[in-house]
Chains A and B, each alone.
Chain A
Amino acid sequence: MAHSARKDSPELPDFSILKRLAKDQLIYLLEQLPGKKDLFIDADLMSPLDRIANVSTLRQHEVDKLYKVEYKPIISTSDQICFLIRPRIQTVKWICDVANTDKTAGKFRRYKIIFTPQKFYACDAVLEEQGIFGDVTTDEWPFYLLPLDEDIISLELPEFFRDNFLAGDQRWVRTISNVLHQLYSLYGPFSKVYGIGRCSKMAYDAWKQNKEGEQKADHAAIGKMVLIDRDVDYVTPLCSQVVYEGLVDDIFKIKCGCVEFGPDVTSDNKSVKVMLNSEDKVFAEIRNEHFSNVFGFLSQKARNLQTAYDKRRGMDIQQMKTFVSEELKGLKQQHRLLSLHIGASESIMKKKTKQDFQELLKTEHSLLEGFEIRKCISYIEEHISRQVSMVESLRLLCLLSITENGLLPKDYRSLKAQYLQSYGVHHLLTFANLRQLGLLVEQQPGETLTVMESKVGKLVNDKAAGKLTDAFSSLAKKSNFRALSKKLNLVPKSEEYDLRIPRDMAYIFSGAYVPLSCKLIEQVLERDGWTGLEEVIRLLNGHEFTGPGCNGVDLGVKNDAQRIILVMFLGGCTFSEISALRFLGREKGFKFIVVTTAITNSSRLLEALLDNHV
């Protein structure tokens, strides 16, 4: 790696205990239904489950056959069926159908539904409505946290984003507060908790209420915590990722820390599944690198490997023996990984170094800078009319809207009309969703100048302004990106940026933009709270808080754990953001742990907002 970590950076706490805990709980639940049983698993729980308990473990606890929930009539002969599902009404309805079908066929079975991470009242209501409440037993598997890597923990709840931010459905808030509690009881007490966003605040308050009366004086493994709602910063996840790990996610889609490389990467006919985490030594060194550096690094690595192999020459038999028994296996492993990553990089190169990708990046950067907007709009127009990609076009539209604080009415109409012509009229609903989230809106007359706005804000005193923004934020969410960018200096003055030696977090976007979310985290940690950031908070529509992470006295202890900082993204975060935080950590001697409801990227974010009925 081009930049070495500070020597005094603290050790990360051990998160494998989370897995052990989840496994034990699951086994306990399975044992509640003694005897042989068939297990039906929600499709998106398959990979997380695999990380917790493999098939042989399940077999040990008398799971006979495994099925995926497919919303079709089941063909199981077992007289005991266990369902392991997310608490979704649709799935529960399907289970009701299964049970009712059995009933009419006169078949008697025992059913058990295990909801994870928790059960919702609505699920019970459906069971009751469909008349099978008495026929099933239900349980909760409190499996909240899946460690994907030594510093990434995911809740694997992609639906959180849509449910919470679009539908205004707050049922996941309790889940988050439970997560806080679990982290607190295993790794707490925290010395301080900061946060911004409505959901963060609600979750924090709920957790604080919950833990009342509990004392904890254990040795803390995590010092501070920052909670951040995704809707605080939509710009960052909407930008194209150019850091290696992010690129791999954008192109090959990393699922639960695992990626499937197709034949074009493996130069073989088979696809291969690879775990991407810090155990992969090659990957660990390139994951945070800007893509332009990756090739150079890989070839250097290949040369090193060759030298290691070359050591064989001129060895006597004894040396050869130790070489084979000790080093060779490691080298072989590295060799395999190296060739995979080289393959992946080549494949990425093919796709991304083409002219249009460069132009796309250029457009994005102009949007972020607020430069040559008309040219960008016509680029987007062409993008739509050439039907390059449904989601990509939408992404650019949103980026345009956020950075410009809404589209001019004329543009708004014509771009929307063109999009509908290209991709069908049902996207009217998609647009309605985007408008609700404030991702794609029309400029209200008189709001064109954000500068004006901030001037007005200064005149009115802060409290009143806060109340005003509160009132307005419910009507139309405004991004205020330009003003924020100026305040926090998010877009560096354009000059030559050597991506080999990153200066700041902007390197993850080729030096064009410092991710807002990460900048906020940096600022809050630096200032130990929100003081001095009042203007920024107002532009972000408030909901910030700072609180003690434990009851009673503030732990003024200075130890290594105080420099371990847990960042929790509610609504997902991108690999680029994680890379930026890792960079920040190295600079400041912190270690960041990222907890997120799910790993996201631009296409996942937007696909969650599509209304697909076709």
Chain B
Amino acid sequence: MNPYLSIDTLRNCLEGVIPAGVATCSRDLVPNVSYVSQVMYVDQDHIALSFQFFNKTRENILANPLATVLMVDPDTAARYRMKARYLRTETQGPLFERMKARLAGIASHEGLVGVFRLRGTDVYRILDIEAVPGAELPRQLPGRAILPALRQCSERLHNCSSLEDLVDNLLDALDRSLGLSHSMLLIADRPGAKLYVVASRGYPSSGIGAEIPLGVGVIGIAAREQVPIRIMFTAAEYAYTRAVREQAIAEGLVDALEQVINLPGLNEPSSQMAIPLPGIRGLIGVLYTESQQECRFSYDLEDALVTLCAQAGLAIQGLQLADEPRLVAPPADCLCIEDPLADASPDPLRVEYHDRDHSVFIDGDYLIKGVAGAVLWRILNDYRERGRVDFSNRELRLDSRLGLPEISDNLEARLILLSRRLQERSPFLRIEKTGRGRFRLLLQRPLVLVPMNPCAAPPPGGISQPAASADQA
């Protein structure tokens, strides 16, 4: 193997901009040549070719595993010949899903939507790469150096002292250092088999609280397979339209999703990338970025974001642990000293709560559901019954009525979600962080708490309410 030519430095040739040629030959020495829609980088020693149709190439490699690929750099027109040996075919899993998503973009780019159907991912070991002599265009300087930008982003994350800080800094750093101006961070709700948006940047509406099921669209597939997905061209079947989500529900992939909060996002992104945030015990969430520009995200940028997301995943876990005030025991009952209703308007705030899905409506408008909804209802009831306004994450975590999963409850992420939804939707009701693992309820109007469908036996994890009638605080 030529020691100076590595596929690591030639990945630009594998973006599917110009189809590669692949030559094989049968056992009885009949050559075959065809175009291949996608040659995908696997690692420095392996590539994968898309297997879409049963054809001669397929027949040949099963009999004689040697193949030669002729590929071209879409910027400089430099050509390379790569010899490879077929190893295996994967028909499901991360590599397969990565290729399938990329193929959808390539099919769209080539005007062949509906023609391509990925049957398998053929994995090859690279044997040799040879530069083919010929005219080349000068290589343009890259618009932005990725490694220094990655370092800046990494330093921003390193200095974050709270989860909320990290969530905001991550998206801000991506925008400032890498020019990724449309992005969102979603946190995994593993028991619910879905992800919810905790922060977004670059959209008219934040979409905080919007949900996407595991396995649906670029984000859902990246989460389910825990693999980065990068699409270079518009791929309608991977967009997050409402129709996609409704289809997922209709097919029983997930329970009813939150339908009131629309997922933020560009209508027809030309480039998409979703990167999982890994944690020690599994998936933490997914970072998603998109652009109106085709081929906006390179392999190198994908590497940078995978590295950054590995740091972010661990940082989120670390900050969640650090958020527990273990050394200082919280006061058992912190009664309200301040009068939060000092500037109260006389009109009461009507808060409705539905046991079934823990959804909360304020003055008739949907606010939140799930764990975040249950937490809000719990603290509002504490306030009404005992006048409490100061709460700790730990007491919520220990409250069996909230039904938080024992592992990876992501309580802090849910509190960020709740806090931001309140900021967006309810100027008279807020929660505010007051210290590590502590927060305060801020109210500017009196409360009317209305349990909408109390039942004798509350669902697991639900909050039981003694009274069915409206109860003014």
The judgment on whether A and B are partners is no
Which residues from chain A sit less than 8 Å from chain B, CB to CB?
Answer: none
